[in-house]
Structure 1
C-alpha cells in the first residue's frame, strides 16, 4: 500500500510547531509520552519554568476526543450521534453474539474466538475489504463470521451504538460536515504504514485545509555492528553489561535495548538487568527501589500483587480457594491488619495445610479464623481477619442470584472493604497507581449494564477477571537512561546508542499468521498485516531500517543456539559488519555474593553442638527422634529441639501417610472385635465380610472428618472397596500363622534411655501359645528388616520397642499390608516360629544368640540417645538418601556445603 505524499518535518521544527499550537498525533501512548518529555526538556534548556502543555495525543485518543466533542455540543435540532462503545462493551457485545449463535457449540474457547472476530472486523474496515455480498469460495469460518458481523451490526443499529473499528469513518463524516473544529496543522509520528481507512481520513483532513506533515527521524547509524552470541541469556547479559559500561562513561546517554519477543522474555530480562545494574535488589525491602532501566512492556493489571489479592477475595466468594491461594491471601500485606496479625495468619496457614487438602472452603477458613480468634484473644489481641470473614460470608450468602454488572461492582467493593483491602500500610507509587487502575476497571465493568443486563455471580467474577487480564498496566516511572522495549514501543524513538537483540531467522521476519475468519487470498491480495511471507518480509524490512537509524551507535545481535537447535542471523541483518563478542566493551560485573564476601571480614566457625539436655528430659516426638538422629543429627536437633517443621503441601487423593492411617485404624477396629486368631478362623465368609466392611467404614469416617473435600461420595465408595479387599487379603495371611492372641494395640510404653525420656508405642503386640510375644509394626510400603541394623539404623522403632519390652519375645515383625504383596517381614528367635520369616542369624551378621541381638540394639540406641543428650547436631547425613525426604535443606544448607567441598577438591586436584 503506497503512503500518502506528506511532507517531512525534523525534530527542531516539530518543537517549534508545538509551541505554536500544532497537533502532534503518535502511533501509541508511549511515543506520545516520549515527545512530551522531549518537549519539556527543550523548554527547560531555554530557561523556562512554566509553559503550556503541547497538543500531543495518540491517534486513537484524538479520534475519541473528536467524537466526544461533537456528541457534547450537538443541539436539539441535530440528531444525537450513536453512543461510542468502550472496548469492554464492544467485546461483551461480540461475546453475546457468538454465544447466542448456533456455531458456539463447536467452539472450544469462545473468548479466544471473540478476540479473533474483533480483529477480523477491525481489519475488514481498516483495509476496506470487499466482503459484502460475497458468497462463493468462502470457508465455513468466514461464513460464520459474516453471520456474526451482521448480527453485531444489527445490534449497533437498533441500539444506536458505534464501535471503534468504524470510529474513524464517523469522525471523517463529522469533519466533512463541519461539526468538529479542525487543527491548522497535524504532524504524524511513528507510523510505519497507513491503512486505507487512515489514508481516506487524512485525505479528508487535506481537503478541509489541514496541513499534514510527518515527523522524520534524522538520525543515521554511524556505527552498526552485528555480533553472534551463544544463546538468548548470553545476549541479554551482554546487552545489559554493554549498557552499564556506556553509563559508566556518560550517565546522560539515552540507551535503547530493543527485544522483539519481550513479552516472552520479560522475566529473564528483568532478572539479568537487576543482576547487572542493581544486584542489591535481592535484599529484603529493596524490591521497589528506583532502577537505572525501565522495562516498558506493560503487564496485565491482574498480575499486580495488590490486584491479585483483590481477585483472590472475589474468588473466595465462590465458596473455596486452592490451598496455595489461601496461603497467598493470608500472607498478603493488602488485607486489613496484615502487619498486626502477621504471625497469627502464618500459623493459621500452617494449620490449614495439615489436612493436605487441595482446596479450602470459605466455611472452613471462616471457622478456623474464628476458633483462632477465641483462643488467641487473651494473648494476641482481637484478630480482625475472623470478624472480616464472618461479615464477608454473611454478605455472600445474602446475595441475589443475578445482578447487573454495576450491582456486582457494588458487591465487589463491599467484600473488599470487609476484608480491609488494600491493607493498612501506606501504598507506594506503583501500588497507588494499581488501585487507581482497579477503580477505572470497575467503572468500565459497570458500563456493561447497557450491553449485559444481568449476570450470575461466577459469570460476573470470571468476566471481570478477564477484563483485568486484558487491561495492561504500566506504572509511570521517572525518566531513566536505559529503556528496554519491544519493537512496536520503539516506533519513532531516538537514542544515543541502541542494542537490537534476538534477530535470528526464526523470528525476524515473523512467520505469517493470517486471520482465520477472513479469506486468505483476499488478505494476501490486499496485503493485510501478517497475511503472507512476502508481506511480513516487506514490513519487517521497513521496521529494520527504522531501528537501525534509531541511534548513531547500533549493535545487532542474534543467538547461535536455542536448546538443541542451531540458529542463523536474520537475512535482514546478515550483511552488517560482524564483530567478535570479545571486542565488545562490556562492564565487568561479578556475582553479588562475591562482592559481599570481598567487602566483609569472614570468620569460619564449625558449630555442631547444641545445648545438652538434663537427665530425665522428656523430648516430644517419641521414636521419631532417634530415627532422625540416626539419619542426620542436625535434622533431629532442628525438628525436635527447635521445632522446625515443613509446611504441608496439598495432595491429590491419598498419600502413603493417609493410607497408613486408614490401615492402622481399620486393623485396630478389627482386632478389638476379633481378639485372637481362633475367632478369626471361626468366622464364616459373610460374617468376616460384614466385620471388614464396618472396619473400613470406621477408618474412612475418621479421615473424612479431617479431609471432607477429599472424601467425596464417589471417592469414599472407591476407597471403601479398596480397603475391604486389602483387609480381607491381610486376614488370610494372619490365618496362616500359628495360634496367637492380640494382647495390646497402640500401647504406650515410657522408656528412659541413658537419661533421655521417650514414649514408645507399638502398633500391635501378639501373644503366642508359648507365652512369648511378637511385636508387629504395620507398613503400607515396601519394608526391609535390614534397616534395623548398623550403627545408625534407618528404622530404629522396632528395636526400641524390643529393648523396652520385659517379657520374652519370639519375633519382631513388619506387617507389610500392601495389595498383592501382603507378608510378614522381620526376624524370629527360633526357626519356623513364623512362616516365611527368617531366623535372626540369617539377617544379622556375627550374632550367636537372641540376647546378643537385643544387646547390640541396646548399645546402638543408647549411643544415639547419648548424642541427643549431649546436643550433638552436626550436619552429617547417614548417606545421600537421607536428604531425599528431609524438608530442611535450606536450614542446614547441605547443598552449599557439598558444592564448596567439591570446589575445594577440584582446586586441590588442579594444584596437585
Structure 2
C-alpha cells in the first residue's frame, strides 16, 4: 500500500521540478488552469518569452491519457485493451440495463435511479467494498443493484468495453507492466483525501520508482475573523462591499469569495455583485461587459441562451411548441434573419398569443409567418417562413428510426436550415457555447456503440438530457475576484478570502448515504456522506484548508433564515468575532442616485397628453370610459397609444371565454324564442333541444378560434356544462313578469362631450307597459354599486341608459352563474322586478329616476371630456385598479411611490 503521509513540496520547488519534467496532478480542471497560470507568470517574471508547457493535468484527464497512450502505441494485433466508454455511453448502457430489468416497472424515476446506480458502482470500486458474502446486509434495493451490476459487467466483458470506475485499475496494471512511460516525480494538488483505489495506483507509482509529493500552499492565515449578519442576502451584500473596498485600495489582490450553496444562490450572488461592482451593467445597450468578478460554478449547457434556442429548434421538429417556448424562439437572436425581422417576429409572437392556446403547431406558425391580411401585415416574416418551409420538408422526409449518429446529422441539418446560430458576430462566451454544442453532437454520435437505433422523440430527449448533464463554464480572462463553491476552492490560494453561509444547518452537511449500498458497510469503510461522524471529520479538514487559503480570512454566517433562528457552525464558533460595522466596506450609493447627482435635474409632472382633434375617432367603445375611470394613463396608453399586454396562454377556458360562450348561446336562444310567452309554451323536450342547439352554436364559434382546446372530449364536457347553465337560467327568466326581447347586441351611437362612442347592450327587453329593461350578461359575481361614484368601476350600463331614448323601467346585470342565478341592478319603481331593489336604495340622495340618469350623464360626460382633453395622469382609482393592468412597466407606478396618490388628489381638486 501507499506510504502515508506523502512528503510536502512548496510552490517555488514545484515550479522548479515542473520545468525538469515532473507531473502535477490536480483534483479538478479549475486548479489545473490556475496552477498553469501561476507557472506562466513565474516564467514571465524570469524574463522568458517562450518555455515548454509543463505537465499539469487533472487526475481524470491523466488517467484517460495514460490509457489512450497504451491503446494508441500498440498495434491492432498486440492491443487487447477494451474500448473505454465515454460518460454518455456508460450512462446509456446503465439505462439499457435498468430499463430491461424486471425492476423497471416499479421505479418512479429511472434517470435518477441510473445516476444513483452509477454512483454506487463508482463507490464500490473506489472504496473497495467487499459486497460478496454480505447477505445479512443485502436489502431489496442492494439486491437489485447487484443484479444490474452483473448485467452491466457482462455487457462490458462480451463487447470488450471498459467503464471509468475501473479505469484506475486498468491504468495501474499498465503502469505495473511498464507499458506507460513515467516521470521521475508526481506532485498531487488539491486532494483532501485519497480513496483506496487511488492509494493503490499511487503505490504502483512508488514501486516503479516515482517520487510522490504533495503541493503545499505557502503560509497560513494571519488574520481570521467571524461575523454574524442578518441573513444570506446581507451576507452576500457585505461580502461584495468588502471585495470592492479591497479592490479599490489594493488593486493587484486576488480575492476569493467561497459560497457553500452557490448552486442555489447563483442568481442572488450575480445580481448583488453586479449592483455593487458593476452597477452600469443595467444600462440599456451595454451588452456583455468585462466584470471584475467571476462565478466559477458551471451551469448546464442546456441553460445557455444560444444552446437553448438550438434545443427549441429540435423540439419544433416534433410539430409544436408551447406558447412560452414559441415566444422564446421567435425573439431569439440566434435564428436566421433575426436582425432584419426582429420587430416583425415580436409582433408575430403577439399575434399567435391572441388565441391564448397553450401550444402552437409548426403548421400554424408557418402559415402566420407567410400570410396576413392586408390591413394587418406587420407580423409577416417571409424570411422565417421560407426557412420553416424547408425545415418542414426535411423533418417530414426522415425515417422513423435512426442510429444516434444519424440523428446527430439531422439535428445539425435542422439548425442550418433555420440559420442557427444567427448572422450577427458571436462574442467569446457564445463562441465557446457553439464549440461545446459541437462536442456534444460528437459525443451523442458515439452512442452507436451501445444504442443501435432510436425514434426521433427519444433521440431528442436523450440529447437534451446530455446537454443538461454537460456542465458549461466559459473560459474568461483572469479577474481579481473569484466567487466559487467549496469544491472549486480546493488547492486555491488568495490574498484575502471571505467564506459565507457557514451556519450549523449546512456546515457540516447532512449525511446522505447511497441507498443502493449497505448502510453498515458505508459507515464501516467511511464512505463519503455515509454518516454524521464522517461528514464532520471531512468538513473539519476542508474548513482548516479554507482557513489557511489566505492571510486574511473572514467567515460569516446568517442569524436567521425566514422565521428560523440560526447558529454558527461549531467548526467556526471558536473564531474571534467582529461586529459588521468594524469591517472595511466600500460605501456604495444607489446607481439611480449616482446618475441624478451627476447633473442638474428638473422634475416635471406631465399628466397631459395631446387632446383629441375634432372628428377624431377612438376605438374601444364603452371600455374606453371604463379604463379612464380606473386610471387615466391606462386609458390613454391602451386606447390612444395602442399599448396592449401580451395574451397569456391558458389551459382550458378562462372566464372571458366562458362569458363569450354564454353571450352567444343566449343570443341564439332569444332569436328563436323572441319572448317569455314562447318560453313558457315550450315543452321540456322542445326546450332541451333548443338549448342543446344554442350550446352547439356557441361552441362552434369558439372552436374556430381555439381549435386545439376543443377536443372531442372537451367539447362534450363543455356542451353539457352550457346546457345545464342555460336551462337553469331560463327557469329564472320564467319567473319574471311578462317581457319580450326587443333587441340583442344592437349598436347605439352616443356623442358625449365631443367623444363619439358606440354602445352595444347585450339585450333590451320590453315590458307589457311599453317600458324597456337593459340587460347585461355576467358570468362572474356582479355588484350594481359599481355603477356609482365619480369614477364608476362598471360604467357600461349607465352609458347604455343615457344612450337609450325610450323610457326605461330597469337596468340589470344578468348573473348567469351556477347556483347563483339572479338579476342584479336597479328599477324605476318598487316591485317591478322581483328581488331587484328600487334605485333609491342603491343610489343615495336621488329622488327621481330622471335625476339618476342626469347624475350618470354628468359623471360620464366628465370622463369623456377628460379623454377628449388628453388627461392621462397615472392616478389609479384605488389599489385594485392596478391588479389587472398589463402596463405597470409603462407607467412605472411602483417607482412613483406616493406620486400616484398625489396626482389623484390634484385631480380631485380640479374636479
1:229 is aligned to: 229
Query: Which segment is superposed worse, 527-536 or 882-891?
Result: 882-891
1:292 is aligned to: 292
Query: Which segment is superposed worse, 724-733 or 154-163?
Result: 724-733
2:340 is aligned to: 340
2:642 is aligned to: 643
Structure-2 separation of matches of 1:238 and 1:894: 30
Structure-1 separation of matches of 2:453 and 2:339: 38
Structure-2 separation of matches of 1:48 and 1:372: 67
Q: CA deviation at 1:440?
A: 0.2
In the alignment, is residue 326 of structure 1 matched against residue 329 of structure 2?
Answer: no
Q: CA deviation at 1:133?
A: 4.0
In the alignment, is residue 95 of structure 1 matched against residue 119 of structure 2?
Answer: no
Distance 1:133 1:691, change over 3 A: same
1:75 is aligned to: 75
Structure-1 separation of matches of 2:154 and 2:869: 86
In the alignment, is residue 620 of structure 1 matched against residue 629 of structure 2?
Answer: no
SS in 1 for 2:514: coil
Structure-1 separation of matches of 2:383 and 2:602: 45
SS in 1 for 2:459: helix
Residue-by-residue CA offset, 1:814-848 (whole Å, 9 max, x unaligned): 11111111111222223332222222233222333
Query: Which segment is superposed worse, 839-848 or 863-872?
Result: 839-848
Residue-by-residue CA offset, 1:441-493 (whole Å, 9 max, x unaligned): 01000100100111111111111111101100000000011111111111111
Q: Count how many residue pairs are aligned between Structure 1 and Structure 2.
A: 903
Please give the residue correspondences for 1:726-875 in structure 2 after superposition, counting only pairs within 5 Å: 726-875=725-874
Structure-1 separation of matches of 2:438 and 2:155: 29
Query: Which segment is superposed worse, 2-11 or 397-406?
Result: 2-11
SS in 2 for 1:66: helix
Query: Which segment is superposed worse, 799-808 or 507-516?
Result: 799-808
Structure-1 separation of matches of 2:374 and 2:384: 12
1:447 is aligned to: 446
Which 5+ residue runs of structure 1 have no aligned equivalent? Answer: 905-912
Q: CA deviation at 1:401?
A: 1.5
Query: Which segment is superposed worse, 20-29 or 354-363?
Result: 354-363
Query: Which segment is superposed worse, 151-160 or 813-822?
Result: 813-822
Contact 1:3 1:194 survives alignment (8 Å): no
In the alignment, is residue 506 of structure 1 matched against residue 505 of structure 2?
Answer: yes
SS in 2 for 1:617: coil
SS in 1 for 2:702: helix
Contact 2:227 2:580 survives alignment (8 Å): yes
Q: CA deviation at 1:754?
A: 2.3
Q: CA deviation at 1:376?
A: 7.8
Structure-2 separation of matches of 1:869 and 1:79: 90
SS in 2 for 1:777: strand
Query: Which segment is superposed worse, 793-802 or 619-628?
Result: 793-802
Structure-2 separation of matches of 1:807 and 1:225: 85
Structure-2 separation of matches of 1:413 and 1:823: 62
1:123 is aligned to: 123
Residue-by-residue CA offset, 1:155-187 (whole Å, 9 max, x unaligned): 000000000011111111111122111222211
Query: Which segment is superposed worse, 166-175 or 795-804?
Result: 795-804
Which 5+ residue runs of structure 2 have no aligned equivalent? Answer: 904-911
Query: Which segment is superposed worse, 709-718 or 510-519?
Result: 709-718
Q: CA deviation at 1:737?
A: 1.8
Structure-2 separation of matches of 1:164 and 1:788: 75
Structure-2 separation of matches of 1:2 and 1:578: 41
Structure-1 separation of matches of 2:901 and 2:572: 44
Contact 1:243 1:255 survives alignment (8 Å): yes
Q: CA deviation at 1:321?
A: 1.7
Contact 1:30 1:489 survives alignment (8 Å): yes
Query: Which segment is superposed worse, 357-366 or 161-170?
Result: 357-366
Contact 1:4 1:199 survives alignment (8 Å): no
Q: CA deviation at 1:44?
A: 0.8
Structure-2 separation of matches of 1:808 and 1:101: 81
SS in 2 for 1:618: coil
SS in 1 for 2:606: coil
Query: Which segment is superposed worse, 215-224 or 608-617?
Result: 608-617
SS in 2 for 1:443: helix
Query: Which segment is superposed worse, 365-374 or 665-674?
Result: 365-374
Structure-2 separation of matches of 1:373 and 1:418: 27
Distance 1:546 1:169, change over 3 A: same
Structure-2 separation of matches of 1:778 and 1:720: 19
Structure-1 separation of matches of 2:369 and 2:165: 51
1:61 is aligned to: 61
Q: CA deviation at 1:194?
A: 1.1
Contact 1:3 1:193 survives alignment (8 Å): no
2:714 is aligned to: 715
Q: CA deviation at 1:390?
A: 1.9
2:106 is aligned to: 106
Query: Which segment is superposed worse, 893-902 or 149-158?
Result: 893-902
Q: CA deviation at 1:899?
A: 4.6
Q: CA deviation at 1:374?
A: 8.6
SS in 2 for 1:652: coil
Contact 2:2 2:199 survives alignment (8 Å): no
Residue-by-residue CA offset, 1:11-49 (whole Å, 9 max, x unaligned): 001111111121111111001000100001001111112
Q: CA deviation at 1:876?
A: 2.0
Structure-2 separation of matches of 1:500 and 1:186: 31
SS in 2 for 1:339: helix
Task: Name the Cα RMSD after superposition.
Answer: 1.8
SS in 1 for 2:340: coil
SS in 1 for 2:781: coil
Q: CA deviation at 1:512?
A: 1.2
Contact 2:372 2:379 survives alignment (8 Å): no
1:359 is aligned to: 359
Query: Which segment is superposed worse, 195-204 or 386-395?
Result: 386-395
Q: CA deviation at 1:519?
A: 0.8
Query: Which segment is superposed worse, 140-149 or 67-76?
Result: 67-76
Q: CA deviation at 1:287?
A: 4.7
2:609 is aligned to: 610
Structure-2 separation of matches of 1:701 and 1:399: 36
Contact 1:615 1:756 survives alignment (8 Å): no
Structure-1 separation of matches of 2:881 and 2:274: 37
1:910 is aligned to: none
Structure-2 separation of matches of 1:903 and 1:436: 56
SS in 1 for 2:338: coil
Structure-2 separation of matches of 1:292 and 1:105: 51
Structure-1 separation of matches of 2:554 and 2:561: 21
Structure-1 separation of matches of 2:339 and 2:567: 53
SS in 2 for 1:515: coil
Structure-1 separation of matches of 2:316 and 2:373: 20
1:148 is aligned to: 148
Residue-by-residue CA offset, 1:614-654 (whole Å, 9 max, x unaligned): 33322100111111112221111111111111111122322
Distance 1:373 1:546, change over 3 A: farther
Q: CA deviation at 1:739?
A: 2.0
Please give the residue correspondences for 1:386-785 in structure 2 after superposition, counting only pairs within 5 Å: 386-785=385-784
SS in 2 for 1:49: coil
1:907 is aligned to: none
SS in 2 for 1:741: strand
Contact 1:293 1:484 survives alignment (8 Å): yes
Structure-2 separation of matches of 1:900 and 1:856: 30
SS in 1 for 2:275: helix
Query: Which segment is superposed worse, 124-133 or 293-302?
Result: 124-133
Q: CA deviation at 1:76?
A: 4.8
Structure-2 separation of matches of 1:399 and 1:426: 32
SS in 2 for 1:490: coil
SS in 1 for 2:136: coil
SS in 2 for 1:154: helix
1:167 is aligned to: 167
Query: Which segment is superposed worse, 453-462 or 1-10?
Result: 1-10
Distance 1:835 1:698, change over 3 A: same
Structure-1 separation of matches of 2:469 and 2:77: 40
Q: CA deviation at 1:77?
A: 4.6
Q: CA deviation at 1:375?
A: 7.8
TM-score of the two chains, using structure 1 as the length reference? 0.97
TM-score of the two chains, using structure 2 as the length reference? 0.97
Contact 1:373 1:382 survives alignment (8 Å): no
